[in-house]
Chains A and B, each alone.
Chain A
Amino acid sequence: MKMSKLRTLIHEEGIIFSFSGLISQSLTTFIIKAVQEQLEELIKDSSIQKAIFLIITEQLQNIMSYSSNKHVAVGQVNVSPGSLLLAFDKEKAKYYITSSNEIREEDKEKISQRIDFINSMKKSELRKFSREQLRTAENKHDKGAGVGFVEMAKRSSEVLTYNFEKIDGKSYFHILTYI
């Protein structure tokens, strides 16, 4: 691919950061740092900056926790294949973060129900619901607290958009969050 073509595409699509490959904790730290450097110039509002970092962290850690294709790489590091994109939507004049990973077919319904329920709540209800979830062991699993989607919704200016896609017999989950 010609670099000039890539550069034009990135510019036209408002892409600030994109990655597709193996996601790990060290990569999460790296992405947060890299994005922070990019955004310091672009965004003066520190709350928006922070919301972006928090949503990126939740999406990457969701990929690490829920991917149906996670495995252990060299040095006992957990890695899961996935994709993440941070971009600026010129029409809406908003930043968005979207990510994608392979999931187990049987988890589809659980994920849809959870996000639909979160999307049905107002911001004030979400805050209360988040606290209730954090105080109970419900939805707790070995890694996270099962509250990642709630935290994303709290920091987002729109409802969480998601869909599932089947490619070559594998199920993929995509999520899109506007700041």
Chain B
Amino acid sequence: MENLIIESTTYTPNINFDAVHGELSIKGKSYPENTFEFYKPVNEWIIEYFESTPNKNINIQLDLEYLNSSSLKAYFDMFDCFEEAQNLGKVIEVKWLYDSEDDITEETGEDFIEDFQGLNIKLVVK
């Protein structure tokens, strides 16, 4: 499967999904107007990847400093995909990066931990 690479813009993050090594990284700001359109191919790639990859271990790194409410919704949908893949036998580790002074991003990470208790989510100070 091809890697998925999307360059960042002022209001969308950089997406760098390495299919061979199972390293999925998203970094930047996310507040597009049409959030659903932006994340549709991202979520489709993730679903197809989980179904086809022989890799068992998948590492996900999320470094999102700025999320509007519709982007938050997109990430809840993405975490649903992670959880589903894990239930089907993948070993998924999610690193949620935040700046030590950024309470809001830390809180968002805590919300994901609270809501996806079956997933291995680590809060990591940058």
Interface residues of A (CB under 8 A from B): 24-25, 28-29, 32-33, 46-47, 50-51, 53-54, 57-58, 61, 64, 78, 127, 130-131, 134-135, 140, 142-145, 147-148, 150-151, 155
Contact = CB atoms under 8 A, between A and B. Distances in A.
A32 B33 CA distance: 14
Nearest to B10: A29
Interface in B52-99: 66, 68-70, 72-73, 76, 80, 99
Helix, strand, loop or mixed for chain A's interface? helix
Interface of B: 10-11, 31-36, 66, 68-70, 72-73, 76, 80, 99, 101-104, 107, 111, 114-115
A25 B36 contact: no
A50 B36 contact: no
Contacts of A25: 11, 32-33
Nearest to A149: B69
A142 B73 CA distance: 12
Given A29-B11, A131-B115, A147-B73, A53 B66 contact: yes
A143 B69 contact: no
19 contacts: A28-B11, A32-B31, A33-B10, A47-B104, A53-B66, A57-B68, A61-B31, A61-B33, A78-B33, A127-B107, A131-B111, A131-B115, A134-B72, A142-B36, A145-B70, A147-B72, A148-B70, A150-B69, A155-B104
Nearest to A51: B104
A131 B114 contact: yes
Contacts of A51: 104
B54 to A, nearest CB: 31
A115 to B, nearest CB: 15
A132 B80 CA distance: 13
A6 to B, nearest CB: 29
Contacts of B10: 29, 33
A64 B68 CA distance: 14
A54 B70 CA distance: 12
Contact of A143 (B11, B34, B104): B34
A29 to B, nearest CB: 5
Contacts of B107: 127
B69 A47 contact: no
A39 B120 CA distance: 37
B76 A135 contact: yes
B69 A147 contact: yes
Contact of B115 (A32, A58, A135, A155): A135
A24 B10 CA distance: 14
